[in-house]
Homo-oligomer: A and B are copies of this chain.
Amino acid sequence: MYQLAMGTRIRRSPYFEATQAEGVTAFSTYNRMYMPTSYGDPEAEYWRLIEGVSMWDVAVERQIELSGPDAGVLAQALIPRMMDRCKVGQGRYVPICDHDGVLINGPIALQLAEARYWLSIADSDLVLWARAIAAERRLDVQVFEAQIAPLAVQGPKAEDVIASLFGDWARDIKLFWFQETEVDGIHLYLARSGWSKQGGFELYLSDPTQGVHLWNLVKEAGAPCGIGPGAPNQSERVESGRRSYGADTDSLSTPFEVRMSRFVDLDAPDDAVGIGALRDIASRGAARHQLGVLLPEGPMLPRYDSWFTLTRDMEVVGKITSAAWSPRLKRNIGMALVSTDCAPGDTAQALLTEGPVDVQFVELPFL
C-alpha cells in the first residue's frame, strides 16, 4: 500500500470534509479530482451496495456544459447517436469518438434545456475536445466544466431513501431522466443514474459550499435504511460487466469492441465526428470484443493494478483489463478485451505476476 500525495493540482470535492468525517481511508484520482474509494471495510461496503443503500462522493463525474444557440449542433457533432430524439429532462449514455471512431469518453448526455446540455464525463479531458470542435466549426456555443458535484445514492434501498427526502414523486423518475428540485434550500438536479447495476440516484449539487450540508441530509434520511459511505465498487462493477473508460478501453478501442454497438446510430448525421469511420468498422466487423474471464478457483488474489496478457497456443489473444474478487460468486473474475477468435467457453492462459494461470471465457455480465 502506498500513500497518496496531495497537492493543489488535483482538486478536492465539495464533499471532502464529509468523507473525512466518515473515515475515508483511500482515494484514487479521476478527472484530476480526489475520489474516495474506501472507508476501510470493503466487505461491508460491498454488501451495503448489494443489499442495502450506500452513499458516494462522485464529484469527479464532471459536467461539461454546452450552452448557447449552437449547443444542439455541437452535441450532435460530438455524439454518434440521433440527438434529436433526446428530450429536455432526459439523459442518455453515449459514446464519444474521435474522427477514427476510437472511444475518447463515454458520458451520460443530459439535456437541461433546448440549448443546454451536460456531458457527465468519464476520465478524460472532454472539455478540450468539445471546445476544439466548437471553435474550429465556428459554432456559437460556450463549452466549460460546470461547478456541479454529484452525490450518488446506490443500492436496492436507494429509492426509499430518495423518496423520504424528496417525496414519492421521485419514484417515478425513469432511468437517466432527471428533475430540477431542491431540498432544505439546496438547489440540485435529481437523476436516476449511477455507477452500479444495483439501482439508485445521483444528486447534482450546484453550490459547492453546500456539500457537507447535502451529505448530512442524505445520511440522516438514509439512517432508517442503514445507509453508509461507499464508492464505485470494483467487485460489483466487474460482476455487472460495467466497463470503465481507460481501464477496459485502450487507445484503439471502438464502441463495437466494448459492447456499446447499441449506443451508436449509424444513421447519425454525416457531420457527427467519427460517424464515417464507425460505419466502416461496423461493416467490416471489429477485430476484438469484450468477454468475462473466470480465474482459477481459490482464495482472493491481490487486487490487480495492471493489464495482464492473455495467450492461447503461445499467441497473444488479448488482455485482462479489470479483475476483482466476487463475493457473490466466491471466486476471482475479470473483464477481457480479446480477439473475436475467442468465444465464451474457450480457455486461455493469463500471465499474472504470480505466474501463468488457466482462465475460461464467459459472457458478460456475470451477474
| Alpha-carbon separation in the docked complex, A306 to B6 (Å) | 9
Q: How far is the CB of A324 from chain B (nearest CB, A)?
A: 10
| Alpha-carbon separation in the docked complex, A29 to B125 (Å) | 15
A-B contact pairs, 7 of them (CB 8 A): A1-B3, A4-B4, A4-B27, A7-B28, A8-B306, A9-B247, A144-B251
A198 at the interface (CB under 8 A from B): no
- Residues of B close to A29: CB separation below 8 A: 10, 28-29
| Alpha-carbon separation in the docked complex, A245 to B245 (Å) | 24
- Residues of B close to A309: CB separation below 8 A: none
A133 at the interface (CB under 8 A from B): yes
Q: A2-B3, A2-B27, A145-B251 are known contacts. Are A98 and B8 too (CB-CB below 8 A)?
A: no
Contact with B along A1-39 (1 / 0, CB 8 A): 111111111111000000000001111111010000110
Taking A3-B38, A32-B123, A125-B129 as known contacts, 16 extra A-B pairs with beta carbons closer than 8 A to each other, sorted by chain A number, are A1-B4, A2-B24, A2-B25, A4-B28, A5-B27, A5-B28, A7-B304, A8-B248, A8-B306, A9-B246, A11-B306, A12-B306, A99-B131, A124-B125, A135-B273, A145-B251
Copy total for this chain: 2
A322 at the interface (CB under 8 A from B): yes
| Alpha-carbon separation in the docked complex, A306 to B251 (Å) | 32
A184 at the interface (CB under 8 A from B): no
A128 at the interface (CB under 8 A from B): yes
Cβ contact within 8 Å between A2 and B2: no
Chain A residues 209-254 with CB under 8 Å of chain B are 234, 244-248, 251
A307 at the interface (CB under 8 A from B): yes
Identify the A interface with B (CB < 8 A).
1-12, 24-30, 32, 37-38, 98-99, 104, 123-126, 128-129, 131-133, 135-137, 144-145, 234, 244-248, 251, 273, 303-307, 321-322
Cβ contact within 8 Å between B104 and A128: yes
Partner of A32, one of B7, B126, B246, B273: B246
Q: How far is the CB of A210 from chain B (nearest CB, A)?
A: 17
| Alpha-carbon separation in the docked complex, A227 to B333 (Å) | 43
| Alpha-carbon separation in the docked complex, A26 to B2 (Å) | 5
Cβ contact within 8 Å between B37 and A5: yes
Cβ contact within 8 Å between B244 and A9: yes
Q: Which 5 pairs of residues, A with B, have the shortest CB-CB distance?
A: A132-B132, A6-B305, A125-B125, A136-B136, A5-B37
Partner of A129, one of B2, B5, B128, B251: B128
Cβ contact within 8 Å between B135 and A98: yes
Cβ contact within 8 Å between A99 and B251: no
Cβ contact within 8 Å between A28 and B10: yes
- Residues of B close to A129: CB separation below 8 A: 125, 128-129, 132
